[in-house]
Amino acid sequence: MVNLEEEIVKHYRSWCGSDALKIEKIAASGSYRQYFRVIGASGSIVAAYNRDVRENLAFLKFTRHFRAMHLPVPLVLYSSPDSAFYLLEDLGDTTLYSALTKLRRKENYIHPDIVKIYLKVIELLPSFQIIAGHSIPFSYCYPRPAFDRQSMMWDLNYFKYYFLKLARVSFDEQLLEEDFNAFTGFLLEAPGDHFMYRDFQSRNIMIHNNTPWFIDYQGGRKGALQYDLASLLYDAKADLPEDFRGQLVNHYINTVTKLSSLEETNFRKYFDGFVLIRILQAMGAYGFRGYYENKPLFLQSIPYAVKNLKILLDRDHIPVKLPMLMKALGEIIGNPGFSSIRATSSDLNVKIFSFSYKKELPADESGNGGGFIFDCRALPNPGRYPEFADLTGKDRLVVDFLRKEPEVDAFLNHVFSLVSQSVRNYTDRGFKSLMVSFGCTGGQHRSVYSAEELSKYLVEKFNVKVELNHTNLTL
């Protein structure tokens, strides 16, 4: 197994010749790529690790191409010889989505500062699609060089198997397959010789120095202009007002006509079709991550996707008959369960403590009692070694020591399983508080490490509030 922090330290040193002082894992999203913020003498950078080397090569090649075209994408600082690791310029933590939600005061309201950013994003998108797209190295596209029939069928089947089937929506498989073929045939009529960013949505647009910067285009390929615009405007949880979407479509068309010939009527003819396939692809992802991988946070996007489906079907601008698909979508829209999926619960507050058994146990201030107390004293003890005496379970050397011990891994897997069961149950029952404590001899190494690991696990897997308290470290 790859020790990621050791590898990051090694590659960081190869890049700048000095040691990393601090490594922090960046919260995971929907991909299997792993990101870390690395702080050292050269400032803050981002390290990425991905075992899918072909995907990495696409990202690196596209990034260098976009940089050469003076487009706002992160600078690649370094890539490892095997291309599994790369280091990037740090653009911060503010995405367009986080800025949008922070400034949203009520439904159907978009703050004027966010309006300006969206307009700027719309103005920049054709530069990726058309200007840079004319000379982009499509041979590096992965997994397909174009958004062709095969790519479309992958997306539609993703929706079928990971949403319709897992959510138990009824349909005739043969008739649905016929609709899929008719639908892809219609979409393929649209011109598709531009660069298609593929995942052009608000979480992949960073706000850095008050301007938009762009990331996560490694799935880019040749395709139609409409797809990326549809991805941005019908980004589920961004929940943009429909009139604002119309304004942005008009702004996009005006921008594109300044760069190349665009027949507006023809563009609009296919636009809703690309909105639909993008929504279906996203719903497949929500089903896969939520139902199949049991990550409830992804299920929270379903009501927004259903809302977008209803808007789209009410408009009825897709000029191709898709009777079985429309029947299935009607069942989704008509099922109130899909429009009101509860959050895993942002109301549940999980308080995690580390403590020393030489002192008092952490007090339960909620008044509910219960929760978990895990005894870490049976685990290998870094405190017995002089080199760890002044360190804690948050320090890299101690973390590396404990991660190499199989007993620690087995212990934490049991902890994760038990606590997850309670989180799900407490969420369903509307409980507000859960307390988890880890104790060891000194409250410095094993308990601190375990508390940190559970905190990361819960933040990644569930939408809950986590409060982390190291009682012995604050004395």
Give the Cα separation of 122 and 313 in Å (integer). Answer: 25
> What confidence category does residue 475 fall into, taking pLDDT thresholds of 50, 70 and 90?
very low
pLDDT at 345: 42
Residues 5, 400: contact at Cβ < 8 Å? yes
What is the DSSP secondary-structure string of 315-357? HT---S--HHHHHHHHHHHH-HHHH-PPPS-TT-EEEEEEEET
Kindly compute the dihedral angle of the four CA atoms of residues 449, 450, 452, 453, in this order, to the nearest 10 degrees: 110
pLDDT at 428: 67
- pLDDT value at 104 more than 60: yes
Greatest mean pLDDT among 204-213, 331-340, 392-401 lies in 204-213
pLDDT in tens, 61-73: 999 999 999 999 9
Element (H, E) at 375: strand 372-375
Tokens, residue 320: 């191709």
pLDDT in tens, 247-304: 999 999 999 999 999 999 999 999 999 999 999 999 999 999 888 887 777 888 999 9
pLDDT in tens, 420-438: 889 888 876 778 899 999 9
Give the Cα separation of 68 and 350 in Å (integer). Answer: 47
pLDDT in tens, 315-356: 999 999 999 999 999 999 999 889 876 544 457 899 999 999
Is the whole model's pTM more than 0.85, yes or no? no
How many C-beta atoms lie closer than 10 Å to residue 148's C-beta? 15
> Strand, helix or coil at 215?
coil
> What confidence category does residue 401 fall into, taking pLDDT thresholds of 50, 70 and 90?
very high
Give the Cα separation of 387 and 449 in Å (integer). Answer: 17
pLDDT at 369: 74
- Which residue matches tokens 């649209």? 190
Give the Cα separation of 441 and 355 in Å (integer). Answer: 8
- pLDDT value at 30 more than 70: no
Kindly compute the dihedral angle of the four CA atoms of residues 89, 92, 97, 102, in this order, to the nearest 10 degrees: -170
Over residues 43-62, the mean pLDDT reads: 96
> Strand, helix or coil at 37?
strand
Q: Write down all domains in the chain, each with its CATH number in brackets.
A: 4-89 (3.30.200.20), 96-339 (3.90.1200.10), 349-470 (no CATH)
* Stretch among 45-59, 139-153, 187-201, 353-367 having the lowest mean pLDDT: 353-367
pLDDT in tens, 6-20: 999 999 999 999 999
pLDDT in tens, 184-207: 999 999 999 999 999 999 999 999
Work out the mean pLDDT of the chain and round it to a whole number: 92
